[in-house]
Amino acid sequence: MKKLSACKVLIVAALCWGCGSVGSGQRTAQLPQDSGTPVESERSAADVAAELANPLAPITALAIQYRAEAGNGPANDTNHQIRLQPSFFKPFDDGSALLVRSILPLRSTRWPAEENGIGDLQLIPYFVPDTKAKNFIGYGGAIGFDTASEEALGAGRLTAGPALIFAATGQPLTWGGLIQHVWSVDNSSKRADVNITTLQPFATYLLGGGWAATASMEIRRDWDAPSGSGLSVPAALGASRVVEVGGVFLNLSGSYVQYIERTSFDPDWELRFGLTYVLR
């Protein structure tokens, strides 16, 4: 079994501490002081739903997502994944901000290998020049750390590359897209090189009362894969709702994902369920 180095443990611990401790300057929808009516409560939930629809909104959130990945391999095995996805932002006096998103997967696979453990940690920092604009642009990068506890659960390489994200906000529709490319940047020769482009168009339609309908794709191209085997295109349809529980805003979400195009390592389809805690 592959052991996590002290450096990897420190990276994960620092990430969790940083995302949990950011508290200053957070912007999230606040309940009116004179909030005795259901209408006011719905309006607050709707405001939070609108902020969550924008991937560059200056909010701090702790998110967790479960994925059931069905139809893997010749036996149609089901793999399971829990993704810890904290995000935080640091605003600046000129209206710009630094937004950092992260993903740490906990995986249980039956194909291509029976393994249980931690996957590779991803950090995606963005600089947002104007957080008050209707159309947001974020300039940044994607960094992948070799934190997988088992060889089959990660790329085994340190990866990095540029990323650009755009979001056009509105009522009731918010839409946009992300494009990024990562390469392996270490000197290891034990695992295959990484050379992957990802394009993610998305749209969110606000339904009122904290409800939203979502649609997205994740077009992923592995340029070093054998000809005709490196394209993956999952398409997702989902719904979410923001609720207030004891003064805390929670976003509950669910989606169905169908793979239009897939590699030999992709499932046929997925079910995803998420819970997001919006920090004040």
Q: What is the structure's pLDDT at 148? A: 97
- Would you say residue 16 has pLDDT above 70? no
Flag whether pLDDT at 10 surpasses 50: no
Residue 163's pLDDT is what?
98
In the chain, how many domains are there? 1
Give residue 15's pLDDT: 47
Which range has the worst mean pLDDT, 32-41, 137-146, 154-163, 187-196?
32-41
Distance CA 119, CA 122 (A): 9
**Is 194 among the domain residues?**
yes
Within a domain: 267: yes
Domain range for 196: 6-28+37-278
DSSP string, 174-208: EEEEEEEEEEE-S---SS---EEEEEEEEEEEEEE
pLDDT of 118 > 70? The answer is yes
1 inside domain: no
**What pLDDT, in 10s, does the model give residues 40-84?**
344 489 999 999 999 988 789 999 999 999 999 999 999 999 999
Note whether 70 and 268 are within 8 A (CB): yes
What are the distances in angstroms from CA 152 to CA 107, 108, 115, 136, 248?
10, 11, 7, 37, 38
**Which of 113, 56, 32 shows the shortest CA–CA distance to 79?**
113
Question: pLDDT value at position 143?
Answer: 98
Opening angle at CA 276, ends 275 and 277, nearest 5: 125
Token pair 């893997």 is found at 72
pLDDT of residue 265 exceeding 50, the answer is yes
CATH of the domain at 43: 2.40.160.40
| More confident site: 110 or 189 | 110
Cα–Cα distance for residue pair 197/58, rounded to 1 Å: 26
- The confidence score (pLDDT) of residue 199 equals 98
pLDDT of residue 200: 98
Q: What pLDDT is stored for residue 154 in this prediction? A: 96
Which residues are CB-contacts of 3 (< 8 A; sequence separation ≥ 6)? none
